[in-house]
Amino acid sequence: MPDLVEIGLTVYNPVQPEVVSFDWLRKTFGESLAYYGGVSTQTTLPFGTPEEVRQATLKAARELALDGTGLLLAPSHRMMSDVPMANVEALLAAYSELQAAPRA
């Protein structure tokens, strides 16, 4: 991936928590990349509780957008029919929670 950044990659998609560490991305690429994704469609969204979805969403925002920018927070891939509606609602509620939070 460093070679791709060197030749002009600006957005990394998908950010799938099971595949890549948020901490590694930020430490390795800092401000060089923006990120798309962050909330697992493999584990958390289909099998987690609504509170786990909320926590995963907040974690992705906190760790991938340290300064409140550089992240399009989203499911890591397309959501399939195995995602319970309560988890979709929790994801949307977490987005609203982040939107309402004061910025430093």
Q: How many domains does the chain have?
A: 1
pTM: 0.90
Q: Where are the alpha helices (DSSP H) in the chain?
A: 2-6, 22-29, 44-47, 50-64, 85-100
Q: Which domain holds residue 55?
A: 2-100
Could you tell me which of 21, 76, 69 has the C-alpha nearest to residue 46?
A: 76
Q: Indicate the DSSP class of residue 31.
A: G
- Residue 31: pLDDT over 90: no
Among residues 102, 76, 67, the alpha carbon closest in space to that of 20 is found at 76
Q: What angle do CA 89, 94, 100 make, to 5 degrees?
A: 130
The string of pLDDT tens digits covering residues 51-80 is 999 999 999 999 999 888 899 999 999 999
Determine the residue type at 92: L
